[in-house]
Amino acid sequence: MKNRITVIDYKMGNICSVLNALTYLGYSASVSSDCREILDSNVLILPGVGSFHRAMMTLCQTGLDRAIVEAVIDKGSKILGICLGMQLLAQSSTEDGKTRGLGLIPANVERFKQDGLNGLKVPHIGFNQVTSESDSILFKDLPSQVDFYFVHSYRILPAGLPGKAAHCCHGETFLAAYEWDNVFATQFHPEKSQTNGLKLLKNFLLEVSPEK
């Protein structure tokens, strides 16, 4: 079956930048909020900016939450969550009150703790160094320490997670990227991270043939 790339639209994603990056790499992707199209796709990208609580309300009201989980768990579709999209893959978040997530990453999302920041500001904005594992799929052929662009106030701590984790430090060490079977995620924005980000997106799409 031909790979179909779908960027999930729930009205809170940085969709244009993601599509521009995919087009630059030679890939064609559809944008959809239709559950049937999500289930018919074997490559999903879940971008996002804004409130976890509001985003999950939208996903639940539209049935997209069930469609995403079914596509990933039952059908084996690959998914890449970006920024808020990564956090939505987690079990829950404390943003705007505790809210259940999609449960594809066995961890919880919490705000940076002010007493651990050593004077650094929140939100964490700008390029920062990410340290990855040597056999990572996302970071294949990238240096083990490389810069990516972040903008976020909430994070996942990396302790105890299965799969492969990449780390970043903003006062404390947090989960910068994650991969476990067909679940992939980045807290940073690869679509805004220039050459390094384009390479990471290409690595994610490694088994997908570019548009001819």
Active site residues per annotation: 83, 189, 191
- Residue 173 CB: number of other CB atoms within 10 A? 15
Tokens of 10: 């729930």
**Dihedral pair phi/psi, residue 180, rounded to 5°:** -150, 110
Helix (H) or strand (E) holding 109: strand 105-111
Q: Where are the alpha helices (DSSP H) in the chain?
A: 15-24, 35-39, 52-62, 64-69, 84-88, 194-204
Tokens of 69: 């989980």
Nearest-Å Rg of the Cα atoms of the chain is: 16
